[in-house]
Amino acid sequence: MLLNVFASSCCVTALLFGGAVDAHARAVSPEDSSGFVLVKLYAPEIQQEIRYYSTYNFVGERIAGYEAPCAILTKEATRALKHAADELAKKGYGLKIYDAYRPQKAVTHFVNWAKDLKDTRMQRDFYPDIDKSKLLGPYIAPRSGHSRGSTVDVTLTDLKTGKDVDMGGTFDFFGAKSHPDYKGTLSRDQLRSRRILRDAMERSGFRGIKTEWWHYTLKNEPYPNTYFTFPVSDLLFLPDKEKATPSAAGDPKPDTVAPADPSKAKPEEAESAQPAEKPAP
Ligand SMILES: [Zn+2]
């Protein structure tokens, strides 16, 4: 009975978002975290600053569903991100994650916040040029690709200093300055840094979007039709828990991580075909 529910749910999702149904897409329960891992266990060199666990984000408070400041991704996305980090390290750069898997509950929190036009406490930092009434739709939608578990928000760090590289704008800034190729006020170095990040991510199997320099989705994502609901919590992945033991067979391990193969990627998925994807963040 449950299987039927999920099967019909997937079909509905595919119809809604216009994507082709992947015959190999795994139908799983949205509560099932067994295909996911804690990124820090496989790529501890990647810094993490999980903004939605903190209060420094466009809402100004901890976001629902964030129970720990940890990045969680599918095994496949973790493997690809590790590949990008290895490649960037050769050039003296590190990666820092701002957000990874995002439970549906958090996305709903964003929508409810967007409807409350009186709460503009973080406007100065994140949307100074946009009236809050204009955020719902273009910037905030009822679903996000992050909930499928293979999308990550990242920036570059300098491996020598450990500091963030100047990307010409902050993560989650709502506006044209966040477009990767923004031709306005960005310096050559800032544009170059965005290209370095993009090149490494694309060579590792991710694709970016035109509106946010930090946002990347694994092209061949394992759960293209499932919007997961389990919380962002490291408790789900502790070894003494029955579920999702990181060392279980089949999980990626640092010494066995294979480079992502971009040639196996599915055809480019038009962002516009996914109204559920929130352009920012
Ligand atoms: Zn994102």
Count CB neighbours of 277 within 10 A. 22
Residue 267 clears pLDDT 60, i.e. is over it:
no
Query: Which pLDDT belongs to residue 239?
Result: 72
pTM of the model: 0.78
Ranking 16-25, 138-147, 240-249 by mean pLDDT, the lowest is 16-25
What percent of the chain is predicted at pLDDT more than 90? 73
Task: Tally the domains of the chain.
Answer: 1
Residue 43 clears pLDDT 50, i.e. is over it:
yes
Q: Per-residue confidence at 94, pLDDT binned at 50, 70, 90? A: very high
- Residues labelled catalytic: 212
Residue 67 clears pLDDT 60, i.e. is over it:
yes
How many angstroms separate the alpha carbon of residue 242 from the centre of ligand 1? Answer: 30
Residue 281 lies in a domain: no
Query: Which pLDDT belongs to residue 51?
Result: 98
Residue 277: both structure tokens together:
């994807």
| pLDDT tens column, 233-242 | 999 987 765 4
Contact 224, 149 (CB under 8 A): no
Residue 174 lies in a domain: yes
The neighbouring-strand residues paired with 48 are: 97
Residue 279 lies in a domain: no
How many angstroms separate the alpha carbon of residue 240 from the centre of ligand 1? Answer: 31
Contact 281, 171 (CB under 8 A): yes
Higher per-residue pLDDT: 15 or 200: 200
Query: Which pLDDT belongs to residue 195?
Result: 97
Mean pLDDT of 190-201: 97
Residue 278 lies in a domain: no
Please give the mean pLDDT across all residues of the chain: 83
How many angstroms separate the alpha carbon of residue 126 from the centre of ligand 1? Answer: 14
Residue 105 clears pLDDT 50, i.e. is over it:
yes
Residue 98 lies in a domain: yes
Tell me which residue range forms the domain holding 200.
2-273
Residue 199 lies in a domain: yes
CATH code of residue 188: 3.30.1380.10
Residue 145 clears pLDDT 80, i.e. is over it:
yes
Query: Which pLDDT belongs to residue 117?
Result: 97
The DSSP output letter for 63 is: P
How many angstroms separate the alpha carbon of residue 138 from the centre of ligand 1? Answer: 14
> Which residues hold their Cβ within 5 A of ligand 1, which is an ion?
153, 215, 281
| Cα 10–chain centre separation | 21
Q: What is the crossing angle of helices 75-89 and 188-203, to 10°?
A: 130
How many angstroms separate the alpha carbon of residue 272 from the centre of ligand 1? Answer: 15
Residue 45 lies in a domain: yes
Residue 111 lies in a domain: yes
